[in-house]
Amino acid sequence: MHKKTLKIALIRKNYTPYGGAEKYLELVSRELHSQGHDIHIFTADPWPDAPFSIHRIGVLRKPSFLSNVLFASRLRKNMLNSRFDCVLSFERTFLQDIYRAGDGCHKEWLKKRGAIESSVKRFSFKLNPHHRILLYLEKKCFENSKIIIANSNMVKQDILHHYPVPEDKIQVIHNGIDLNRYRPAGKEQKEALKRSLGVVDIKDSRIILFAGGDFRRKGLSVLFKAFSLMDRKDLKLIVAGRPVNQRYAEEAKKLGIDKDIIFRGAEKKIEDLYAISDIFVLPTIYDPFSNAVLEAMASGLPVVTTSSNGASELIDNGKQGFVIQDPLDSGMLAEKISAALLNSEDMGRQAHIKASGCSIEKAVDKIINLISAKGG
């Protein structure tokens, strides 16, 4: 489709197997590579099994604010003598043709976070060098980029609200996923997976799935409260994304729901958990665009999430799931989870149909079109 081979630099400071942004960058970079483009990743971390060029930028790990600005500064020095058709940054840095705001708008995140913090904590945001550096880098990044890619209309509006950026500078490209990996499972496959995952004892239960790396931001405590309000007969909650800490284990016990929760930790094959589940719930406080929501929908699960999640733009309320306005309203969350469970098969089919138009190939093609039009 694209005749010209492009030499493309992709920038991301950190790599973690738990990170949605890193996972998406890996999908994008591998797809670009498979299309024959010359891919170079500039990063502070090793990227395991990468089939393209990795350029390590040495930085201190602590303190984080110093690490961020050092990465941006040293990256600029490392790239001064390099020639690329396009520099596409997934990080807040100084020089890039295109910036993909996959982490959203930090100024908006501080606003959302401030709504659930004490006045003392909110005031500390202004003094914290980590936030001050990120806001400085964010401002420079928006100013210097030729094009800004927002992964949701929500993020686009957040940027326009907080920064004097021309609206036509921001292009919205929703995330894409590997549709061959995430697909609905049949009854026999579900039963086989439950055996292989060691959860045969819940084979007759309906399963609610929560998956996310940052339990606090993703709203796990609110989900626990909602779950405690529900009739939990033949109902289980699976929590995945990262190893559980003592705080959440104790919280579940205090609410009397610990016997109905399965903590799975980080799953390499998260698609197996989607396959055995009935619905996916993510009551996030702020999420630019949750990949997990799209993965769950592609797997045939209805989704209950919040309007503070850019991926909620894929959900027609009451059709593929539900979108609640207040991420802290555990009562409303419980109500919508119950409603989704009652109609999970039909909603799941509709979710799969909607997600089937969100392939990684389509998303990457849109990015390449931007690179060809303005970045090259």
Domains and CATH numbers, the chain: 7-176+359-375 (3.40.50.2000), 187-355 (3.40.50.2000)
Q: Using one digit for the tens of pLDDT, what is the confidence trace for 217-242?
A: 999 999 999 999 999 999 999 999 88
**Measured distance CA(274)–CA(271) in Å, rounded:** 5
pLDDT band per the 50, 70, 90 thresholds, residue 376: very low
Q: Using one digit for the tens of pLDDT, what is the confidence trace for 138-188?
A: 999 999 999 999 999 999 999 999 999 999 999 999 999 999 999 999 888
Please compute the mean of the pLDDT values over residues 282-305 and round it to a whole number: 97
| pLDDT at residue 17, as a whole number | 65
**Measured distance CA(96)–CA(59) in Å, rounded:** 20
Per the prediction, the chain carries an average pLDDT of 90
**Is the pLDDT higher at 375 or at 64?**
64
Share of the chain above pLDDT 70, in %: 96
**Measured distance CA(244)–CA(319) in Å, rounded:** 32
Per-residue pLDDT at 375 exceeds 80:
no
| pLDDT at residue 345, as a whole number | 95
| pLDDT at residue 343, as a whole number | 96
Per-residue pLDDT at 43 exceeds 60:
yes
Sign of CA dihedral 299, 301, 307, 313: positive
The one-letter amino acid code at 317 reads N
**Measured distance CA(87)–CA(300) in Å, rounded:** 36
**Measured distance CA(361)–CA(357) in Å, rounded:** 10
**Is the pLDDT higher at 374 or at 314?**
314
Within 10 angstroms of residue 353's Cβ, the number of other Cβ atoms is: 14
Per-residue pLDDT at 1 exceeds 50:
no
Residues 273-298, buried b or exposed e (16+ Cβ, 10 A)?
bbbbbbbbbbbbbbbbbbbbbbbbbb
The one-letter amino acid code at 91 reads E
Report the candidate in 363, 372, 367, 308 with the shortest Cα–Cα distance to residue 148: 367
pLDDT band per the 50, 70, 90 thresholds, residue 301: very high
Q: What angle do CA 153, 224, 218 make, to 5 degrees?
A: 25
Q: Using one digit for the tens of pLDDT, what is the confidence trace for 316-337?
A: 999 999 999 999 999 999 999 9
Per-residue pLDDT at 201 exceeds 80:
no
**Measured distance CA(30)–CA(33) in Å, rounded:** 5
Residues 216-237, buried b or exposed e (16+ Cβ, 10 A)?
ebbbbbbbbbbbbbbebeebbb
| pLDDT at residue 245, as a whole number | 82
Per-residue pLDDT at 125 exceeds 80:
no
Please compute the mean of the pLDDT values over residues 337-363 and round it to a whole number: 96
Q: Using one digit for the tens of pLDDT, what is the confidence trace for 78-121?
A: 887 788 998 999 999 988 999 999 999 999 999 988 877 777 77
- pTM of the model as a whole: 0.89
**CA-to-CA dists, residue 199 to 10, 136, 181, 193, 292, angstroms:** 40, 48, 22, 9, 22
Backbone region of residue 98 per phi and psi (left: phi > 0; alpha: psi in -120 to 50; beta: other values): beta
Share of the chain above pLDDT 90, in %: 59
| pLDDT at residue 365, as a whole number | 87
